[in-house]
Amino acid sequence: MLTRKELSMSHAPSSHHTVTPIVLTIAGSDSSGGAGIQADIKAISATGSYACSVITAITAQNTQGVSSILPIPLDMVEQQLDAVFTDLNIQAVKIGMLADSDIIHLVAAKIRQYQPQYLVIDPVMVATSGDILLQQHAITTLKTELLPLADIITPNLPEAAALTGHDIPQSIDGMQAMISALRAINPHAVLLKGGHLENDSNSTDLLILASDVIELTTPRINTRNTHGTGCTLSSAIASYLAQGNTLEHATTLAKRYITAAITAADELTIGQGHGPVNHFFAGHHHVR
């Protein structure tokens, strides 16, 4: 018989690969469960990592839009960050909604303090419903303080336009015209998401690296249930990075995951507007 101590030692991590991949999401709460922290936790869990969270704001929202946003007091955001970073071995951080300049400054300072291995930023400024979530001076703070720290940022086309001052692209050529302006923000990489090009039969994202651009193309899926797609994709990238994948492979795996989650979205009947994607599509068919 093994003693309790020997038993506990037998479960001790023997190499880096047996360490639980832990992903922190720093974002707002979505009361309807389809986007924000809730989508992040679902996506991180469904892709095989452990999710922890720091909540930056509470929103009153549903599939039809955001009706109210209550920022969490700064000292409480700071205490949440210190609590998770001083105890958990966080491999990757995903950042979503940050409501104002003060919270962006704070989060940037904490990322510099704790130096997580990977940082994925979804620069959330515009909800799927079209609601503007971030003011202009906060966008400037985001660009100067936080985005240059990122391994990858994942703007959609309206967000990329807000970051660069360009018009919202209407074509792949328009997306390619933004590449140098996005590189100038100086993150390690940019995933420019083409999901808003609704006349295109494919959904093409551009993975913009320092000296290369990789096109990731999947067939466009005809569904209105796309609430939380950006949150879900960026969280999946963070999850796959935490598991030791390269940036390019993590992004490819995450694109595959979100495509499957969107494809299965119509299996759910949630709300009267833009419903959520189906985060747990893989598990739904095994359990009866």
One-letter amino acid at 136 equals Q
Q: Which residues contact 210 (CB under 8 A, 6 or more apart)?
A: 183, 188, 189
- Decide if 34 contacts 25 (C-beta within 8 A): no
Catalytic residue (choose from 42, 56, 141, 231): 231
Q: In the annotation, is 229 catalytic?
A: yes
Integer Cα distance of 48 and 193 in angstroms: 24
Catalytic residue (choose from 94, 110, 143, 193): 193
Integer Cα distance of 172 and 9 in angstroms: 54
Catalytic residue (choose from 228, 232, 251, 255): 228
Catalytic residue (choose from 56, 141, 229, 259): 229
Q: In the annotation, is 52 catalytic?
A: no
Catalytic residue (choose from 226, 232, 251, 259): 226
Q: In the annotation, is 230 catalytic?
A: yes
Catalytic residue (choose from 230, 251, 255, 259): 230
Q: In the annotation, is 143 catalytic?
A: no
- The residues that are catalytic are 193, 226, 228-231
